[in-house]
């Protein structure tokens, strides 16, 4: 075996070992544009009574008075797209990235939660009326205290979700073909301390 061929093989093995399979990582950040500008809530609209503010360049959502819930949505709707969300949570938390949201009954959500029955964690794919279309049952792939990245790809009826590079959903469903992106603050005093902090939301229409 030539020395050049040996070097090529070694480099290929190193790239595989450190990068893994590209098909499992989810959408690349290349070509995505920012949806949250890091300055204010331009392009967004709130429903309910949760509190949404921009602090230190990040979007922060908490319950309102008397544990009031609420949602924050883009004014624009999107059909087929790739999206990348970088967030952290303060627990107990029940939130998530709404996508293709048309109404409380016609939507999807890439969850940010710790659910007990059935047991599942952030990255789980929720659909109103159908409950969980796919569940992340591995809590070790979620950084409970730090930053996480959820990636969503929606193309036709094909829905895929990754969290921190691990694919946790790959399903086909026709509940909604387009709609808004958004975030949720769940009701209930058990979620009184919750906080959802968004550092970045990127999107690329397909």
Encoding tokens for residue 135? 């569940």
Ordered domains of the chain (ranges, CATH): 24-205 (2.60.120.560)
SS (H, E, C) 159-180: EEEEECCEEEEEEECCCCCCEE
Residue among 79, 76, 73 at smallest CA distance from 61: 73
CA distances for 15 relative to 10, 182, 193, angstroms: 9, 36, 42
SS (H, E, C) 38-89: CCCCCCEEEEECCEEEEECCEEEEECEHHHECEEEEEEEEECCEEEEEEEEE
Cβ atoms of residues 177 and 57 within 8 Å: no
Cα 109 to Cα 95: distance, rounded to the nearest angstrom: 9
Residue among 161, 76, 77 at smallest CA distance from 127: 161
pLDDT at residue 27, as a whole number: 65
Residues whose CB falls within 8 Å of the CB of residue 74, separated by 6 or more in sequence, listed in order: 35, 43, 44, 180, 181, 182
Q: What is the mean pLDDT of each run of 10 residues along the chain (206 residues)?
A: 48 44 56 93 97 98 97 98 98 97 98 96 98 98 97 98 98 98 96 96 96
pLDDT at residue 9, as a whole number: 46
Cβ atoms of residues 72 and 197 within 8 Å: no
């Amino acid at each position: 075996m030539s020395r050049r061929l040996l070097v090529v093989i070694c480099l290929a093995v190193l790239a595989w070992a450190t990068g893994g399979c590209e098909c499992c990582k989810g959408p690349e950040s290349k070509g995505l544009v920012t949806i949250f500008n890091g300055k204010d809530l331009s392009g967004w609209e709130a429903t309910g009574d949760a509190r949404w503010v921009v602090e230190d360049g990040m979007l922060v959502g908490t319950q309102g008075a008397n544990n009031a819930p609420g949602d924050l949505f883009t004014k624009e709707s999107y059909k087929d797209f790739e999206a990348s969300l970088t967030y952290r949570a303060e627990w107990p938390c029940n939130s998530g990235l709404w996508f293709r949201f048309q109404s409380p009954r016609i939507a999807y959500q890439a969850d940010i939660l710790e659910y007990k029955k059935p047991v599942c964690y952030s990255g789980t794919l929720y659909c109103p009326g159908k409950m969980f279309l796919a569940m992340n049952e591995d809590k070790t792939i979620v950084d409970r205290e730090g930053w996480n990245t959820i990636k969503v790809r929606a193309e036709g009826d094909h829905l895929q979700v990754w969290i921190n590079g691990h694919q946790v959903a790959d399903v086909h469903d026709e509940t909604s073909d387009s709609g808004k992106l958004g975030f949720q603050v769940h009701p209930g005093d058990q979620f009184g301390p919750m906080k959802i902090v968004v550092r970045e939301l990127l999107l690329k229409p397909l």
